Amino acid sequence: MIDKVNQMTISELSEGLRTREFSAEELTRHSLQMIEQKEPELNAFITVTAERAIEDAKAADKRLATKAETNPLLGIPGALKDNVCTKGIRTTCASKTLENFVPPYSATVADRLADAGMVLLGKVNMDEFAMGQTSETSYFGATKNPRNTNRVPGGSSGGSAAAVAGDEAVFAIGSDTGGSILQPSAFCGVIGLRPSYGLVSRNGIVAFASSLDQAGPITRTVKDNALVLNAIAGHDPRDTTSLHVREPDYTVGITDGVKGLTFGLPTEFFGEGLAESIKDAVLDVAKKLESLGATIKEVSLPSLKFALPAYVLISSAEASSNLARFDGIHYGYRAEGAESLDDVYVKTRSEGFGAEVKRRLMLGTFALSSGYYDAYYKKAQQIRTLIGSEFKRVFASVSMLIAPVAPVTAWPLGQSITDPVQLYLNDIYTVPIGMAGLPALSLPVAKDEDGLPIGLQLIGNRFQERLLYRAGVSIEEVTR
């Protein structure tokens, strides 16, 4: 039975654990074996916590033996993106700056998953400080796409998506600022949710852009995703942006179908630059949903053309502020040979940060500087308000939006890393979601001419995750 677990869902694995078809320790050892086998090529993990995983599994088996535990994540092996703080386990953010940093506390997300009984396999690779679209900016080397190891897995949560797609972990937690869960999920052919802003605590997740960041689950199936969200969603008094809005169970109504729902097709998502194979795949799914009783309606969000430059300005400005703490004084990397305090700052940050991080920090510092704040940062925030208003208007007439995740599928490793502008343009369909604080669900619906996954995203109104999962299950069924 254990040799079939790579094809099993969380619900199926949970049932197997409860009926003693296999133990949590056996399941965990299988995952660790998959990691040992695949890591030399994939490089999805930065830190593998094998001893901790076995301890977690043995503890889970003891809880399962009481037959009183019902949490479906109990004994299930998972992984955390390496910007999620874990007490006693290094958290690097894939940067030289934090290469040996071991947090004295755990993020709320990590604690909640531990309480649910998750077996922690380790910390997965990412773009440095979550700044990137390919997972190639990591200090620990690039992650490769399990569907084609000559291709990027997407970013910045590329390690999270690759670990799930490569059968190393049953599920993983990623973080999303401007598409960092959605895009790698699409590139690797797995399910990824960017939750509504404020639904999942940011406490203990190393900040990139505080007003945009959200942690979310990456899984094999839509229902699996809902089960993980059940464990991590909810108010946290340690996070001032956390809200009292969670649903008691995100799997309720998940198989109710799409009859009576209205899906909006935003015209701005289907213009120039979108690959024909992706456009055809998304429109084909829309037709299938229509045949199931849904209504398809074209809508327009004209201000989306301003979303990308506004996002780059806002996220870079917030990154400039958030990363100011990494100065070589309190913790993290400190450069040698400095002759003054200013020299410590300059040398440490020059040597500790990679090129992409430094690029965004310089842009953000410039945007916040005297004389430029009103011209750039303030105007970007006004555009953000406008985008939010347009989404609100559209959701008055549709249940959710259906759109591509990215204009292209996964490209070859190294192809675009030297062209930052081209890289930023690949986030054109996902940055508006983060700007408006909306939830979105990425799921694979087809393959392109090279056999690479094509991702579709469902975009919902705030805190409509349950509705997205309901539609997602229907899409899973019609695209199998």
Residue 122 is assigned to a structural domain of this protein: yes
What letter would DSSP give residue 276? H
For the purposes of burial, counting CB atoms within 10 Å of the CB of 102, is it exposed (0-12), middle (13-18) or buried (19 or more)? middle
Which pLDDT score is estimated for 182?
A: 98
Residue with token string 């390496």: 82
Which pLDDT score is estimated for 418?
A: 64
Which pLDDT score is estimated for 416?
A: 65
- On whether the CB atoms of residues 404 and 457 are closer than 8 A, the answer is yes
Q: Which two tokens stand for residue 399?
A: 């249940």
Query: At a CB cut-off of 8 Å and minimum separation 6, what does 374 contact?
Result: none
- On whether the CB atoms of residues 205 and 236 are closer than 8 A, the answer is no
Find the catalytic residue in 38, 81, 123, 223: 81
Which pLDDT score is estimated for 315?
A: 96
Q: Which domain holds residue 180?
A: 2-232
**175-189 b/e with 16+ CB inside 10 Å = b?**
bbbbbbbbbbbbbbb
CATH number of the domain that residue 9 is part of: 3.90.1300.10
Known active-site residue 81: yes
- At 171, which amino acid appears? F
Give me the tens of pLDDT residue by residue for the chain, a chain 480 residues long.
677 889 899 999 999 999 999 999 999 999 999 999 999 999 999 999 999 999 999 999 999 999 888 899 999 999 999 999 999 999 999 999 999 999 999 999 999 999 999 999 999 999 999 999 999 999 999 999 999 999 999 999 999 999 999 999 999 999 999 999 999 999 999 999 999 999 999 999 999 999 999 999 999 999 999 999 999 999 999 999 999 999 999 999 999 999 999 999 999 999 989 999 999 999 999 999 999 999 999 999 999 999 999 999 999 999 999 999 999 998 899 999 888 999 999 999 999 999 999 999 999 999 998 888 888 999 999 999 999 999 999 999 999 999 999 999 999 998 866 667 667 778 899 999 999 999 999 999 999 999 999 999 999 999 999 999 999 999 999 998
Is there a cis peptide before residue 156, judged by omega within 30 degrees of 0?
Answer: yes
Q: Which two tokens stand for residue 256?
A: 């109710």
β-partners of residue 81 are: 124
β-partners of residue 460 are: 400
Which pLDDT score is estimated for 127?
A: 98
Find the catalytic residue in 156, 201, 242, 416: 156
Q: What is the pTM of this model?
A: 0.97
Residue 329 is assigned to a structural domain of this protein: no
Which pLDDT score is estimated for 85?
A: 98
Residue 217 is assigned to a structural domain of this protein: yes
- At 308, which amino acid appears? L
Q: Which two tokens stand for residue 287?
A: 């037709």
What letter would DSSP give residue 375? I
State how far the Cα of 71 lies from the Cα of 336, in Å rounded to an integer. Answer: 49
What would the 3-class secondary structure string for 286-313 be?
HHHHHHCCCEEEEECCHHHHHHHHHHHH
Task: Give the phi and the psi of residue 20 in degrees, each rounded to 5.
Answer: 65, 30
State how far the Cα of 365 lies from the Cα of 384, in Å rounded to an integer. Answer: 19
CA-closest candidate to residue 21, choices 37, 8, 34, 36 = 8
Task: Give the phi and the psi of residue 143 in degrees, each rounded to 5.
Answer: -85, 150
Known active-site residue 399: no
Find the catalytic residue in 160, 180, 315, 316: 180
Q: Which two tokens stand for residue 124?
A: 């997965």
DSSP assignment string, 93-158: TTSGGGTT---SS--HHHHHHHHHT-EEEEEE--SGGG--SSS-S-TT----BTTBTTB---SSSH
For the purposes of burial, counting CB atoms within 10 Å of the CB of 458, is it exposed (0-12), middle (13-18) or buried (19 or more)? buried
CA-closest candidate to residue 420, choices 350, 354, 326 = 354
State how far the Cα of 227 lies from the Cα of 183, in Å rounded to an integer. Answer: 21
Which pLDDT score is estimated for 417?
A: 61
Cα separation values, 284 from 131, 184, 255, 296, 346, Å = 33, 22, 21, 12, 53
Residue 202 is assigned to a structural domain of this protein: yes
State how far the Cα of 70 lies from the Cα of 399, in Å rounded to an integer. Answer: 33
Query: At a CB cut-off of 8 Å and minimum separation 6, what does 386 contact?
Result: 303, 306
What letter would DSSP give residue 405? S
Task: Give the phi and the psi of residue 214 in degrees, each rounded to 5.
Answer: -150, 135
Residue 289 is assigned to a structural domain of this protein: no
Known active-site residue 23: no
Task: Give the phi and the psi of residue 402 in degrees, each rounded to 5.
Answer: -125, 130
Domain tally for the chain? 1
β-partners of residue 355 are: none
Cα separation values, 297 from 155, 287, 302, 333, Å = 31, 11, 16, 53
Residue 468 is assigned to a structural domain of this protein: no
How does pLDDT run across 253-271, given as a tens digit for each residue? 999 999 999 999 999 999 9
Which pLDDT score is estimated for 407?
A: 95
Residue 404 is assigned to a structural domain of this protein: no
Residue 249 is assigned to a structural domain of this protein: no
